[in-house]
Amino acid sequence: MSKRIPVIAANWKMYKTKDEALAFIFAVNEKVPARTEVESIICAPSILLNLLVKREGENLRIGAQNMHYLDEGAYTGENSPLQVKSAGAEYILIGHSERRSYYNETDETVNLKMVAAFKHELTPILCVGEVLSERESGATKAVLDQQLEKAFLNISAEQALNTIIAYEPVWAIGTGKTATPQMANETIKDVRAKVAALYGNEVADGIRILYGGSVKPDNIKVLLEESDIDGALIGGAALDPNNFLVFTEAASNKK
């Protein structure tokens, strides 16, 4: 099996003022592990991107939470891939469950954003996941397979290998519920198997797949002990700089 570099991605959502963002980055900048050990990423509101990029250290990187798929246009309130790139962000969250639930993100727009991300050399963090009714009816694999098939349409094998996938069971986000480590790992194995079906074993073995669903300092270690979980996409718990460092340290110790 290839050695996959773990990823810890903090999704700040609609939190943190300028001063709070600066305090956070100064607290963690020199303490996160080397990039050769862990990819440590902050996905921040677009208005804070350039502020953070200017202050990122050697081992911390900044991502955006959303973008339009067009380079420019009359789309008030949106940010284009060119704007995200020019702000210095290197990663882009695509298809987060909140974007799908609240802002009409579809599998088709997810795909358009995937294509745009690679066009502008942004690394996509592709979010996939099922709601509680789908989990309870046994439809999880079918739902994820469809999301993956549509997201990777017109994406090359090389591009797929450079994608980070985040499996986020929607029923476990912000609810305090979490899949057991074994349940999360089995679902992520299914995601990896779908990638293998689309692109072959080499891509499936190399792609990083994260877990996102009420990840906390007290469960990160056991989640990362699982064979196929390559890191975590973390919301509220990663708003605290000390927690963020706990997460990155746990990832650096992943065997």
What are the residue numbers of the active site? Answer: 96, 168
What's the confidence (pLDDT) of residue 1?
Answer: 41
Does 156 count as an annotated binding residue?
Answer: no
Q: Is residue 22 part of a domain?
A: yes
Q: Is residue 1 part of a domain?
A: no
Does 13 count as an annotated binding residue?
Answer: yes
For residue 171, the 8-state DSSP code is G
CA distance 169 to 143: 11
* 179 in Cβ contact with 187 (< 8 Å): yes
Q: Is residue 209 part of a domain?
A: yes
Place of tokens 């089995």: 186
**What is the per-residue DSSP string for 51-104?**
HHHTT--TTEEEEES---SSSS-S-TT---HHHHHHTT--EEEES-HHHHHHS-
Does 88 count as an annotated binding residue?
Answer: no
Per-residue CA distances from 55 to 23, 24, 42, 71, 93 (Å): 11, 11, 12, 26, 21
Long-range CB pairs of 68-73 (<8 Å, 24+ gap) are 68/113, 68/116, 69/109, 69/112, 69/113, 69/115, 69/116, 70/116, 71/116
The whole-model pTM stands at 0.96
- What's the domain range around 173? 7-252
* 69 in Cβ contact with 86 (< 8 Å): no
Q: Is residue 235 part of a domain?
A: yes
- Helix 18-28 × helix 241-252 angle, to 10°: 40
Nearest CA to 212 out of 6, 3, 9 is that of 9
- Which pair of tokens denotes residue 103? 């802002």
As averages over each run of 10 residues, the pLDDT of the chain (255 residues) reads: 86 98 97 97 98 96 98 98 98 96 96 98 97 89 97 98 96 74 95 98 98 93 96 97 98 90
Place of tokens 């017109």: 154
What's the confidence (pLDDT) of residue 136?
Answer: 87
- Which pair of tokens denotes residue 45? 């509101």
Q: Is residue 169 part of a domain?
A: yes
Does 174 count as an annotated binding residue?
Answer: yes
CA distance 19 to 246: 22
Q: Is residue 2 part of a domain?
A: no
Does 86 count as an annotated binding residue?
Answer: no
The CATH number covering residue 166 comes to 3.20.20.70
What's the confidence (pLDDT) of residue 214?
Answer: 85
How many domains does the structure of the chain reveal?
A: 1
Q: Is residue 151 part of a domain?
A: yes
Q: How many CB atoms lie within 10 A of CB 62?
A: 23
CA distance 60 to 254: 18
What's the confidence (pLDDT) of residue 3?
Answer: 87
Q: Is residue 212 part of a domain?
A: yes
**What is the per-residue DSSP string for 129-148?**
---HHHHHTT-HHHHHHHHH
